[in-house]
Amino acid sequence: MTATKQKIPGTVSSRSHSGSSSRANPRTRKTRYNPRQKQKGGREKSYRARGITLNAEPYRKTKQYKQHISKSDDTLKIIPLGGLEEVGLNMTVMEYGRDIIIIDMGLQFPDEEMPGIDYVIPNSRYLRDKLDRIRGVIVTHGHMDHIGAIPHHIRVLNNPPIFTGRMTKALIAKRQEEYNNSPRLKINEVQPKDKIKLGAFEIEFIHVCHSIPDALGLAIHTPVGTVVHTGDFKFDQNPIGEDPTDIGHIALIAQNSSKGILALMSDSTDAGQPGFTISESKVRSTFEQIIRNAKGRIIAGTFSSLITRIRHMVEISEKFHKKIAVDGYSMKRNVEIALKMGYIKAKQGTFIDISRVNDYPPEKVIIMCTGAQGEGNAVLMRIANGEHRYIELIKGDTIIFSSSVIPGNERTVQNVKDGLYKKGVHVVHYKMMDVHSGGHAKSEDLKLMLNLVKPKYLIPIHGNHYMLRLHGEIAQELRMPEENIFIAENGSVIEFDKQGGRILNEKVAANYVMVDGLGVGDIGNVVLRERMQMAKDGMFTIIVTIDSKTGEPVGNADLISRGFIYMKNNQELLKQTRQLIRNVIHQKTGGSHAINWEYVRNAIRDEIGQFLFNKTQRRPMVLPVIIEV
């Protein structure tokens, strides 16, 4: 089987992108760092040869910097701006003296209480007056909840250098192309066991398994102590296409730290799940069993970033002489990148365009698509609703949900499954067979990480509050003192110095920033409440024409109901409403020529709103419109 340079059918080839930048930061003189770190077998790696450009060292040699450090009490601050009250939105600031690094810049997809919102990004206001102190951004892996906010934040943060793995670099660069007038990113590619120095921070990269290639954990060496950040991880002893999580490297970091590991920032998403995460090789065996026995088409819904899972399907498709089609914008994009970079290898002709799936016998076709989380516009939802342009479900089709359900998506996923069952197809999900291996450590994996690192403090990250609490309980089972477990919130300031660690009473701005169309941050809680109100009880619009000379209504008010009542069946209610509107206007204007119409509009809204509630026990949004003639 040979690698192919073919383009995924139905996609648009991207323009080339050079990730690493040779341009100097305008604020500082360009220098290069070359630690000549010894590797296994005596091999030496030179960071200079790889072209990594750092910009913090010249400043650190100045008298101003040394004076500041002498007054800083050797304090390390860790400030999560997102990711500690939700699954997603990951962004953490680490600050020592005049040096700041940022770990991840992710987004969160909206929940049911955010109608119309595209996605949410962290609030970076805390960093806006500290731009000259930001030494770099470390990105642990290429999922959207870790890279999705980069196009929005990188410009306002003065485009600091980014350090990340090979696959993540390609995904960041591809996403950046989707935004007009975006700056040219300074993306530097790193590998496990590389070390870089960014101001007071020396970062050592650790290979970890996740559900996407090139995931990284971090050992962040600071003057106060070493902080280990796991990123999203799991322990898979038999992964497909990559090495297991580097347990030896993690243990060596802990062993070589003269004072031990100060703190562990560890993934909490599956802290409530018992046991160990199953191996990706087990999922591969299950897929092969399903595809071998299937009598019709296989339609597999999964995350577009599960490159390893898609690789399984390609290899199994070729083994059984089947064609594979991918559908969904993000999945096509990611598969295109993975093919180009060699993470997926396929023979010429294995992939077909989604428009050609009906040109082959059903038993010869496998379809990989997005929508396993029940997203409204995703491919699997359109298939279930009979709205897909090329795919109409037929008896004999097998639908595989190759993902677990993200907390909060349970109802929408069940709606998709119900729609599929009504079509008479066979549905397989992870609770029935091993068709999904999560990318996050379960409770026993978390215990193993704690025992490897042996940190003085634990900071559970990446999860809802209850997940962080459960992670903390796991640490207490291993006899970690409760006072050494910091269950923080977005915006919390966690401080470490020679005396120990603590969560300060102060908090920084960490409210959600909504992205809605081209608007970023212009949608707030007031607008969301109004949208929720309209979704709950509808809208009732009142259009009144007023004689500007007399201040009296001209004719009856025009009434428009949207989502409130069916007007043809409520004529008596409408008649009473019109009469009340006339009474309110007459009462509030009194025939005066100097009328405060804003006061009149508010009166109509309040009086009619209360009247409609008394009559219907519903509270529609009442919108009065007054036209003077």
Q: What is the CATH number of the domain that holds 411?
A: 3.40.50.10710
DSSP 318-352: HHTT-EEEEESHHHHHHHHHHHHHTSS---TTSB-
Can you give the pLDDT at residue 115? 61
Residue 255 lies in a domain: yes
- Bridge partners (DSSP) of residue 540 are 561, 622
* Residue at 39 is within a domain: no
Provide the pLDDT for residue 109: 82
Q: Is 400 helix (H, G, I), strand (E, B) or coil?
A: strand
Q: Considering Cα of 432, then 433, then 439, then 443, what sign does the dihedral take?
A: positive
Q: Is residue 539 part of a domain?
A: yes
The pLDDT, as a whole number, for residue 268 is 97
Res 528: pLDDT = 61
Alpha-carbon distance values, 369 to 332, 354, 462 (Å) = 9, 10, 26
DSSP state of 271: T
Residues 256 and 112 in one domain: yes
Q: If you average pLDDT over residues 367-394, what whole number do you get?
A: 85
Question: At 29, which helix (H) or strand (E)?
Answer: none
Spatial contact of 174 and 231, defined as CB atoms under 8 Å apart: no
Query: Which SS3 state, helix, strand or coil, does residue 127 take?
Result: helix
SS3 411: helix
Please tell me the least confidently modeled range out of 43-52, 74-83, 405-414: 43-52
What six digits make up the tokens of 74?
Answer: 């050797």
- Nearest to 210, CA basis, from 242, 250, 178: 242
- pLDDT tens digits for 191-230? 999 999 999 999 999 999 998 999 999 999 999 999 999 9
Q: Which residues pair with 261 in a beta bridge?
A: 226
Which range is most confident: 98-107, 307-316, 551-560, 586-595? 98-107
Is residue 172 helix, strand or coil? helix
* Residue 22 pLDDT greater than 80, yes or no: no
CATH number at residue 497: 3.60.15.10
Instruction: Specify whether 270 is located in the same domain as 298.
Output: no
Domain with 292, as residue range(s), is 280-429
d(CA 275, CA 583): 70
pLDDT class of 358 with cuts at 50, 70, 90: very high
Q: E strands along 141-260, which residues?
A: 162-164, 187-189, 195-198, 201-207, 216-221, 226-229
pLDDT at residue 29 is higher than 80? no
Say yes or no: 502 and 581 in one domain.
no
- The answer to whether residue 234 sits within a structural domain is yes
User: Lowest-confidence range among 11-20, 270-279, 380-389, 545-554?
Assistant: 11-20
Q: Is the pLDDT of residue 550 over 60?
A: yes
Q: Are residues 150 and 204 in the same domain?
A: yes
Do 363 and 423 lie in one domain? The reply is yes
Report which of residues 131 and 413 the model is more confident about. Answer: 131
Q: For residue 47, is pLDDT > 50?
A: no
- Co-location of 147 and 222 in the same domain: yes
Q: For residue 89, is pLDDT > 80?
A: yes
Burial class (CB in 10 A: 0-12, 13-18, 19+), 298: buried
120 and 134 share one domain: yes
- For residue 232, the model assigns a pLDDT of 96
- Rounded CA separation 235/237 (Å): 6
Between 74 and 205, whose confidence is greater? Answer: 205
Q: Note the pLDDT of residue 429.
A: 74
- Residue 568, domain member (yes or no): yes
Same domain, 117 and 258: yes
Q: Is the dihedral of CA 588, 593, 599, 603 positive or negative?
A: positive
Q: Which of 214-223, 372-381, 443-452, 557-566 has the lowest mean pLDDT?
A: 372-381
Indicate whether 328 and 377 sit together in one domain.
yes
SS3 label, residue 417: helix
Q: Which residues pair with 108 in a beta bridge?
A: 120
Question: Cβ(96)–Cβ(476) under 8 Å?
Answer: no
How many domains would you assign to the chain?
Answer: 3
The CATH number of residue 598's host domain is 3.10.20.580
CA dihedral for 489, 491, 496, 500, sign (positive or negative): negative
Q: Are residues 106 and 249 in the same domain?
A: yes
Assess if residue 491 is contained within a domain.
yes
What pLDDT shows up at residue 522? 54
Q: State which of 7-16, 249-258, 286-295, 549-558 shows the largest mean pLDDT.
A: 249-258
Q: Do both 376 and 461 map to the same domain?
A: no
Distance of alpha carbon 220 from its chain centroid, rounded?
23
Round the CA-based radius of gyration of the chain to a whole number and report it: 29
Report yes or no: 157 and 127 within 8 Å, Cβ to Cβ.
Answer: yes
Domain boundary among 516, 538, 569: 516
pLDDT at residue 143, rounded to an integer: 93
Q: Which residue do the tokens 């980014």 mark?
A: 162
Angstrom distance (rounded) from CA 51 to CA 188: 8
| Predicted pLDDT at 480 | 97
pLDDT in tens, 91-147: 999 999 999 999 999 998 876 666 667 788 999 999 999 999 999 999 999 999 999
Which of 486, 516, 546 terminates a domain? The answer is 516
What percent of the chain is predicted at pLDDT more than 70?
Answer: 81
pLDDT at 36 exceeding the cut of 50: no
* Structure confidence at residue 381 (pLDDT): 86
Average pLDDT over residues 552-558: 82
| The pLDDT of residue 389 | 92
Q: What is the mean pLDDT of residues 391-401?
A: 89
Q: List beta partners, residue 134.
A: 100
CA geometry: angle at 605 spanning 600 and 606, to 5°? 100
Confidence band (pLDDT; 50, 70, 90) for 408? low
Residues 548 and 590 in one domain: yes
Q: Please state, in angstroms and rounded to a whole number, the distance separating the CA atoms of residues 222 and 567.
A: 68
Rounded Cα distance, 502 and 468, in Å: 17
DSSP category for residue 165: -
Give domain status of residue 44, yes or no: no
Report if residue 185 sits inside a domain: yes
Measured on CA atoms in the order 355, 359, 363, 365, is the torsion positive or negative? Answer: negative
End residue of a domain, out of 516, 544, 578:
516
pLDDT for the residue numbered 593: 55
Percentage of the chain with pLDDT > 90? 48
